[in-house]
C-alpha cells in the first residue's frame, strides 16, 4: 500500500523556470492538499481540493496553480519560480469525513536559485 | 478563527525520562485536535487525535494527550522517552464544519543518551 506518492523528491530550479510537482494517492480519498513547510512556520496550506473537479485557495496560493486531474492525482505548478518558493512541499489526502486525519507524502525539497 | 501555539520550539530530555510537549489552541467552536510527528526527511504521521469523546487520548508509541477545555490546552506526554522519539512534533486544530487544518510551528524533540 503506497499511500501518498510525491515526485520528484528533490528539485533545483533557476528563477523564472517552471515545474510541476506530482502527487498521487491510492486510498480512494476525496480530499487532497498541498502544503509548504518552512523553518519556524509550520505547514501552510497552498491549495486544496475537496473533491474531483474542485479546487480552492489556501493560506498562501500566490505563485502557484493546481490541477485535480482525477480522484487519485493532484498536481502543483510553479509557472515562474522565485527564490521565496524555496521550501519543502507536502501533498496530503483525507477521506473528508469529520475528524479524519491527513495522510502525507514524503515531500519534495525545492530550491530556487 | 482558529490558531495553535506550541509553547516550546525545542525540547531536550534524557532517554528514559518523561516527555512533555505543550500546545495551546484558540477555536470558536468545539475543535478537533491532532498531534503529528515528523521524522527527518519524512512526511507527517498521525500520533493521536481528540474528537470530543474521552479527554485523555492515547496514541501510538506510548504517547498520550489530555484535552483541557478550561485551559485551552492539548499537551502531549510520554512517560519514558526513547531514542526513536527524536523528531519534530506538530499540534493541529480543526473546527467543526471547516476542513482546513491549522498547524502549530512545531516542537523539535531531542533525546539525550
DSSP readout, A2-42? --EEEE-SEEEE-TT--EEEEEEESS--SEEEEEEE-TTS-
Please give the Cα distance from A3 to A93 (Å, whole number): 9
The CA-based dihedral angle spanning residues B81, B86, B87, B88, taken in that order and rounded to the nearest 10 degrees: 60
- A40-75 per-position pLDDT tens digit: 888 999 999 988 889 999 999 999 999 998 999 999
User: Is pLDDT at A1 greater than 70 in this prediction?
Assistant: no
| Chain B CB within 8 Å of residue A88 CB | no
User: Is pLDDT at B34 greater than 90 in this prediction?
Assistant: yes
The torsion angles phi and psi of A59, rounded to 5 degrees, stand at -80, -35
User: How much is the average pLDDT of B71-82?
Assistant: 96
pLDDT at B41: 83
- A89-101 per-position pLDDT tens digit: 999 998 866 567 8
User: Is pLDDT at B58 greater than 90 in this prediction?
Assistant: yes
Residue B1 and residue B28 in contact, taking contact as beta carbons nearer than 8 Å: yes
| Chain B CB within 8 Å of residue A96 CB | yes
> Which pLDDT band holds residue B72 (cuts at 50, 70, 90)?
very high
C-alpha cell belonging to residue B59: 496514541
**B80 CB-near residues (< 8 Å, 6+ apart):** B16, B17, B18, B62
| Chain A CB within 8 Å of residue B44 CB | yes
Please give the Cα distance from A97 to B3 (Å, whole number): 21
Residue B7 and residue B24 in contact, taking contact as beta carbons nearer than 8 Å: yes
How many residues comprise chain B?
113
> Which pLDDT band holds residue B66 (cuts at 50, 70, 90)?
very high
Strand partners, B92: B34, B103
In chain B, residues 73-92 whose CB comes closer than 8 Å to chain A:
90
Please give the Cα distance from B91 to B75 (Å, whole number): 9
Please give the Cα distance from B92 to B33 (Å, whole number): 6
Chain A partners within 8 Å of B90 (Cβ) = 42-43
- Of residues B32 and B109, the one with the higher pLDDT is B109
The verdict on a CB contact (< 8 Å) between A40 and B46 is no
Mean pLDDT of chain B: 91
pLDDT at B51: 79
| Chain A CB within 8 Å of residue B40 CB | no
Cα of A107 to nearest chain B Cα, Å:
6
Q: What number of other Cβ atoms are within 10 A of residue B104's Cβ?
A: 25
Question: Shortest CA distance to B85 belongs to which of B49, B51, B41, B38?
Answer: B38
User: Is pLDDT at B99 greater than 70 in this prediction?
Assistant: no
Q: Any idea which of A41-50, A79-88, A91-100, B101-110 has the lowest mean pLDDT? A: A91-100
- The rounded percent of chain B whose pLDDT value lies above 70 is 96
| Chain B CB within 8 Å of residue A27 CB | no
pLDDT at B100: 72
Alpha-carbon distance values, B83 to A88, A109, B6, B62 (Å): 25, 26, 22, 13
User: How much is the average pLDDT of A20-39?
Assistant: 94
Mean pLDDT of chain A: 92
Q: Please tell me what DSSP assigns to residue B80.
A: S
pLDDT at A88: 96
| Secondary structure class of B83 (helix, strand, coil) | helix
Please give the Cα distance from A50 to B76 (Å, whole number): 30
Amino acid at each position: 500500500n503506497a499511500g501518498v506518492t510525491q515526485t520528484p523528491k528533490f528539485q533545483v530550479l533557476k528563477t523564472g523556470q517552471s515545474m510541476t510537482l506530482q502527487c498521487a494517492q491510492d486510498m480512494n480519498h476525496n480530499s487532497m492538499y498541498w502544503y509548504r513547510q518552512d523553518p519556524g512556520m509550520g505547514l501552510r496550506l497552498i491549495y486544496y481540493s475537496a473533491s474531483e473537479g474542485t479546487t480552492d485557495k489556501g493560506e498562501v496560493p500566490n505563485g502557484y496553480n493546481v490541477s485535480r486531474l482525477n480522484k487519485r492525482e493532484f498536481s502543483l505548478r510553479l509557472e515562474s519560480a522565485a527564490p521565496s518558493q524555496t521550501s519543502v512541499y507536502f501533498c496530503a489526502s483525507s477521506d473528508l469525513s469529520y475528524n479524519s486525519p491527513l495522510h502525507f507524502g514524503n515531500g519534495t525539497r525545492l530550491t530556487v536559485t | 478563527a482558529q490558531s495553535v501555539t506550541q509553547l516550546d520550539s525545542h525540547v531536550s530530555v534524557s532517554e528514559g525520562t518523561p516527555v512533555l510537549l505543550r500546545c495551546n489552541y484558540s477555536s470558536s467552536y468545539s475543535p478537533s485536535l491532532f498531534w503529528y510527528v515528523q521524522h527527518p526527511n519524512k512526511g507527517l504521521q498521525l500520533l493521536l487525535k481528540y474528537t470530543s469523546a474521552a479527554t485523555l487520548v492515547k496514541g501510538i508509541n506510548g504517547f498520550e494527550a489530555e484535552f483541557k477545555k478550561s485551559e485551552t490546552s492539548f499537551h502531549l506526554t510520554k512517560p519514558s522517552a526513547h531514542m526513536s522519539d527524536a523528531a519534530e512534533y506538530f499540534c493541529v486544530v480543526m473546527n467543526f464544519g471547516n476542513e482546513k487544518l491549522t498547524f502549530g510551528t512545531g516542537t523539535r524533540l531531542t533525546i539525550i543518551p
